[in-house]
Structure 1
Amino acid sequence: MSKKREKEPDLKGTLYSVGVLGAFIIITWFMAFYLFIDRF
């Protein structure tokens, strides 16, 4: 009885998507923070 090991899915696309989304959120947050500081 041999166990077949299924190939794990390639998660590089997921990693890149999460990285791009995280960078977008951080950049947006800093832009809003700069606007907030600039007004005072």
Structure 2
Amino acid sequence: MSKKHNKEPELKGTLISVSVVGIFILVTWFLAFYLFIDRF
């Protein structure tokens, strides 16, 4: 019987990319909110 080693997939890159996209969305939202508030 041969044992198969199922390694967990590397999730560090996924965490970094999701964090970058989340930060980008937050920055964009706050910039749009600032522009909206600034007009009034």
TM-score band (shorter)? 0.7 to 0.9
CA-CA distance at 1:38 after TM superposition? 0.2
Identity %: 75
Structure 1 stretches of 4+ with a deviation exceeding 6 A read: none
What residue is the counterpart of 1:21 in the other structure?
21
Residues 3-30 of structure 1: CA distance to partner in whole angstroms, max 9, x if unpaired? 6341010100000000000000000000
Q: What TM-score results when the alignment is normalised by the length of structure 2?
A: 0.87
User: Gapped runs of 5+ residues in structure 2?
Assistant: none
TM-score, length basis structure 1: 0.87
- Note the aligned Cα RMSD (angstroms): 1.3
CA distance in 2, matches of 1:5, 1:13: 21
| Structure 1 unaligned spans of 5+ | none
Q: CA shift at 1:2, angstroms?
A: 7.1
